[in-house]
Each structure stands twice: as C-alpha cells, then as structure tokens.
Amino acid sequence: MGHSGAISYFVQQAARAGLIGISMCQSDPMVVPFGGAEIYYGTNPLAFAAPGEGDEILTFDMATTVQAWGKVLDARSRNMSIPDTWAVDKNGAPTTDPFAVNALLPAAGPKGYGLMMMIDVLSGVLLGLPFGRQVSSMYDDLHAGRNLGQLHIVINPNFFSSSELFRQHLSQTMRELNAITPAPGFNQVYYPGQDQDIKQRKAAVEGIEIVDDIYQYLISDALYNTSYETKNPFAQ
C-alpha cells in the first residue's frame, strides 16, 4: 500500500454491514518519541466504527499525534500560527511557527507514544513489513513502492450477544452522552467523532471549502511531474 487515505472509510464499511470495524496503519516517520529529539514513528492513525440503530454509525478516527501533519500544512496555507503543543523545531524546542516544524509530538505524551508503538508493531512488525524509521516517505521517490502496513479488524456482535441488542445499547450510549450537562465554556457534549460526522454531513450538502493555496496547487502540474519530490517537508 502506498497511502491508506482516511482509514475511517474502511471501518465505516464494516459498520454499514452491521459489524464493528477497527483499522490502523503506519505513516511517514515525522514524530519524536516522548522525551526524544529524533524522529522515529509516523502519526500512525487509529479508527473505530460501530453500528447503532437505523443508519446511525459511531465513528472515531484519530492520529496518535497531538495534531495531524495536514493541520500544519493548513496553518501554513493560511499563514497562521499553531499551538506550541503540536510540534517542535529542528532543535527539539516547541514552536508556534508552522514553517519551522521539524517533527510532531505524540498525543498526551507517553500515552500517544505507546499507541503509535502498538500500531507500528501490529501493522508493520507483525506483518514482516518496514517499521519505525524504516518506513519510507511518500514525499521522496514517487515511483517507488512503499509497503506501508495496515491492519483491519472486523468483529461480529452476534458472536458476543446479539446485533440488535448491541445497536440499541450503542445508540443509547450516544444519546446519553449528548444529554450530559456541558461544563462551563461548552455548549454541547458530543460523543467521540460526532463533530466530524456533523461536518461530513454538511459537506455532503454544501461542498468542501478549500483554501486558495491548496486549490491552486491541485490545478497546477505539480501532481503530474517530479517537482513534487522536492517538497518533502522532512527532507534533511
């Protein structure tokens, strides 16, 4: 596999079939380990989806970093600063300048670090594929295969209780979470992934907003020649 795309897509296919989906995959090394100053792991995303009643689907998709690399690129395109908890510069110091980013930081420190390690083991080491900093970058040689590892797990609720009961209880969980009194400064309590589901439904009707820099890049010839190979944000 060269690039998995949004792994929530795969788990949602399982959920639409009445099953539970869990997916994870490796990505380009661009993250410093907790307490480290050298890049080793990728953002190594993890996704989960399960069916509720009717067409309800609970979907959760996350990078194991504080933020995905795409958020840094978005900040660059908008000429905006980033929180100093997202990334570090070439000296390993926190930075608010998206153009100075050399590496991303694990989510919740050692917890995100542990999750990205687990995902690398299950989708790389276990499958006999490249792992850790041996995973090749998709920004370097666009003509080379990457052997990027993925792991997809599908669970049938009927093997544990019943699919109908599972769906009922999951939808009940979603409703109960939404009914929780919000803390000061919050208007609503969402279940995990609900904010993205709302955005996805809105985009399906109104379209997707793309900043001009990205639009100009997409309509340029950069995607169709080797000039893109010079754009590796992690080139040393």
Report pLDDT for 236: 37
Residue 234 clears pLDDT 50, i.e. is over it: no
Q: Choose between 106 and 69: higher pLDDT.
A: 106
E strands, 46-143, are: 46-51, 57-62, 87-88, 103-104
**pLDDT tens by residue, 145-161:** 677 899 999 999 999 99
Structure confidence by residue, pLDDT tens digits, 190-226 = 999 999 999 989 999 999 888 787 788 778 766 555 5
- Of 3, 143, 152, 169, the active-site residue reads 3
109-122 per-position pLDDT tens digit: 999 999 999 999 99
Q: Which of 3-7, 51-55, 68-72, 124-128 has the lowest mean pLDDT?
A: 3-7
Supply the mean pLDDT for the chain: 89
Amino acid at 152: H
Q: What pLDDT was estimated at residue 142? A: 61
Q: How high is the pLDDT of residue 148?
A: 86
**Is the pLDDT assigned to residue 86 strictly greater than 90?**
yes
Q: pLDDT exceeding 70 applies to what percent of the chain?
A: 89
**pLDDT value at residue 220:** 77
| 3 a catalytic residue | yes
Note every long-range contact of 143-149, with CB atoms under 8 Å and residues 24 or more positions apart, other chains counting.
Answer: 145/2, 146/1, 146/2, 146/3, 147/1, 148/1, 148/2, 148/3, 148/4, 148/25, 148/26, 148/27, 149/1, 149/25, 149/26, 149/123, 149/124
Would you say residue 232 has pLDDT above 60?
Answer: no
Which residue ranges form the domains of the chain, and what is each CATH number? 8-65+106-231 (3.30.1370.60)
Q: Is the pLDDT of residue 19 over 70?
A: yes
From 18, 72, 15, select the one nearest 193 (Cα to Cα). Answer: 15
